[in-house]
Structures are given as structure tokens and as C-alpha cells.
Amino acid sequence: MNNPSGGYPISIDISGWREAPFAPGGECVFAVGDVHGCAAQLGVLLDTVAGIARTVAAPSRLVFLGDLIDRGPDSLGVLDLWAADTPARGVDRIHRLMGNHEMSLLLAIGDGPHAPAARQLWLGEHMGGGAVLAEMRARAGRPDAVLDHSLLAETMGGKVTNCLQSMETHLRLGNVLFVHGGLRPMVDATAYLSHAWTRFREAEWAWIMADFLQWKGGFGGLRVVHGHTPPVRHFELTRQDDPHCFMHDRLGLDGGSSRNGIVTAAQIEEGRYRILRALGPAAR
């Protein structure tokens, strides 16, 4: 594929298989963690996933865990890759879950009660939405374009826009729950996950971090696969040397992306998983 990483090749690292009590209903599931605008890494990772998926006999799914945009160099390129249909990805089904960054963008361009707060947060330095707005303005050829629905549709196209507006909050397959942030311990998962994304911070499944990661008592039999927490922050909260190791009924797949040039995924099957990492020049 075309590599927009400044001429540096993207390498792929695939771990050995690791045992874990996953039971995704006999399916092979590829889950992709936070991307944050690292289009080159995502493209190579998705090519790798497609190659593997076409060799497995079981039904296959690709699950994006959210936070495709912001901070990195090419968020619009990421969204173009993300919106591609199943034949291009070599899998039977694709699920696109919402991250807190997509949530903030969609609320920011709306007119609901959370729009002002979401806009301020998304365009702030921490979230990094300003870089995405600059990408949209550049693609539109209008440096002063207003951030609204029409700019989103004009610069991203109908396919990407439709995918953004139809993202799922979570996916459950057998005993495996896929969600962006995580679960709150000792709270009914069904009720917790029912909070609509339009409720912004109340949709805590996209934002929770410390209370989820520091809990060691399980989640009612669910094995939670999530993104949201990059390795440095993950280590601060858990003291886990490997953030992609299944522990305490959770598996984190945020590889650090825009911070270190690594986009991480997992191939999950009955009783086992392995980690796939696309490493850009920043990871060398």
C-alpha cells in the first residue's frame, strides 16, 4: 500500500499465542486499539489482518475499539481506511465502536446541550481535535471553514459520515465484551453500557480509566477487551509491564499510537490470543 510515513517502512510484530479464557462463540476476532491519526500504521496492520483472516476457517470479525482520530498526522486518512467494506478487510463482519474522541467530535458539531463543552474539549490541546479541523479545512480548500455537519460531510464523504453516525457503543461475543474504555466494577454491565453517547461524560464506558484498570475482582464473567489507556498511563495505574497482557479479566489494546508510532491489535480465538503491532518510525 501507499505509505505516508515519510518514506520509513512500517514493520509488523506478531507475538506468539497466549492462553486466556476467551470464548467468542467459535469466531476469530481481530480487535484494533487506538489509532489517533496514524494512517500508515493502520493501513499496514489492516493488510496483515486481511491476510490472516483469509486463512482461518472460523467466521471472522474485525472490531475497531474507537479513537481513530486526533493527535496523529492523518486522521482523515485513518477514517478512509476505517470505513472500507468487509471484502477489503478479508473478514465476514466489521464493527466500529465509538471512542471518546469520536464522541466529542460528533457532539461538538451538533446543537445539543453538550455541544459547547464538547467543542471546547475536542479543540483543546489535550484532545487534539484542532489538527483534524485543520485537515478538514485543507481538504475543503477553505482555511476559515466553520466546524459543523456540512464540513464533516464535505470533507469526509457520505460513507465515512454514515459510519461515524452509526457507531456502536460495544459488542459482546460469547464471554468477550469489546468496548472503548471499560466497565465500572460492581455495576450491572447491561445498565452501564445502555447510557447513550449523546450523554457525553455520562456515557462512562468511553471515558473510564483508573477505576476500571485498578479493579482485580472480575466483571461478572465477562472478559473485557478495550483501548483508551496508552502504555505509559496503563503502567502508572496497574504496574503491568506489558499493557497487552490479559490480566484480571481485561485486555488493553491501546499501543500508544501517536505518542510512540505503534498501533496495536489482537487476534482472539477460543482460549487464546496474540498481539499484532504495526510499528512506525517513532517506535524505532
* CATH number of the domain that residue 192 is part of: 3.60.21.10
Residue 175 burial class via C-beta count within 10 angstroms: exposed 0-12, middle 13-18, buried 19 and up? middle
- Amino acid type, 255: G
Residue 156 lies in a domain: no
Q: What is the pLDDT of residue 1?
A: 35
Residue 89 lies in a domain: yes
Residue in 163, 175, 162, 172 with CA at minimum distance from that of residue 205: 172
Residue 25 lies in a domain: yes
Q: What is the pLDDT of residue 240?
A: 93
List the grid coordinates of 253: 489494546
pTM: predicted TM-score of the whole model, two decimal places: 0.95
Dmax (CA) for the chain in angstroms is 53
Q: What is the pLDDT of residue 4?
A: 43
Residue 106 lies in a domain: no
> pLDDT tens digits for 25-50?
999 999 999 999 999 999 999 999 99
Per-residue CA distances from 113 to 31, 122, 128, 133 (Å): 33, 15, 22, 21
Residue 139 lies in a domain: no
Quick one: CA torsion of 52, 54, 56, 57, rounded to 10 degrees? Answer: 170
Residue in 276, 275, 277, 279 with CA at minimum distance from that of residue 18: 275
> pLDDT tens digits for 50-69?
999 999 999 999 999 999 99
Q: What is the pLDDT of residue 158?
A: 94
Q: What is the pLDDT of residue 224?
A: 98
Q: What is the pLDDT of residue 7?
A: 56
Q: Look at the chain and report how many structural domains it folds into.
A: 1
| 156 in Cβ contact with 166 (< 8 Å) | no
Residue 210 lies in a domain: yes
List the grid coordinates of 39: 494512517
Residue 117 lies in a domain: no
pLDDT < 50 positions in the chain: 1-6, 284
- Amino acid type, 264: T
Q: What is the pLDDT of residue 258?
A: 84
- SS3 of 107-157: the string is HHCCCCCCHHHHHHHHHCCCCCHHHHHHHHHHHHCCCCCCCCHHHHHHHHH
Contact partners, residue 64, CB within 8 Å, separation at least 6: 32, 82, 94, 95, 96, 97
Q: What is the pLDDT of residue 8?
A: 66
Q: What is the pLDDT of residue 3?
A: 42
Q: What is the pLDDT of residue 73?
A: 94
Q: What is the pLDDT of residue 22?
A: 98
Half-sphere exposure of 6 (CA within 13 A, CB side): 7
Q: What is the pLDDT of residue 208?
A: 98
Residue 35 lies in a domain: yes
Domain that holds residue 270: 11-99+167-283
CA distance 19 to 274: 9
